[in-house]
Amino acid sequence: MKKALKITGKIFLGLLILIAVFLIVMTVYNQIMLKKEDKLLESYPGERVEVDGHKLNVYVEGEGEQTLVFLPPSADTSPVFTFKPLYTQLSDEYRCAVVERFGYGMSDVIDDDRDFETIL
């Protein structure tokens, strides 16, 4: 009985060590990936404009006299890339602006209500 308990304890200790090593490796991997991601975010398209004390990301392409403004649906996490096929074709004749609402893309996350009146 004591021998079985001793073996079970060693197995349990081995599993704990294995879990600890796994967590350490994953933490290091996560930190490396975060640094790589930061470099990618530096090249994210658009210009951050201040609106009511918060930064809103707006991407502008094209040099036409008329400006087309693209407003994304509420669940679009990266409108700059969603609308890219459209504004690249239109940017020869129009100036195209893609607005990333607060809380989406590179725009600031704010604590305002997300009801219909606030979003519009």
Same domain, 38 and 52: no
Write the pLDDT tens digit of every residue in 34-67: 999 888 877 788 899 999 899 999 999 998 899 9
What pLDDT sits at residue 107?
A: 86
Spell out the SS3 assignment of the chain. Answer: CHHHHHHHHHHHHHHHHHHHHHHHHHHHHHHHHHHHHHHHHHCCCCEEEEECCEEEEEEEECCCCCEEEECCCCCCCCHHHHCHHHHHHHCCCCEEEEEECCCCCCCCCCCCCCCHHHHC
Same domain, 112 and 57: yes
User: Which token pair is 48?
Assistant: 């951050």
Write the pLDDT tens digit of every residue in 63-119: 889 999 998 887 788 889 999 999 999 999 999 999 998 888 888 888 877 677 766
Same domain, 59 and 115: yes
Same domain, 108 and 68: yes
Same domain, 62 and 106: yes
Range of the domain at 87: 47-119
Same domain, 75 and 107: yes
Same domain, 54 and 2: no
Same domain, 5 and 54: no
Global pTM?
0.64
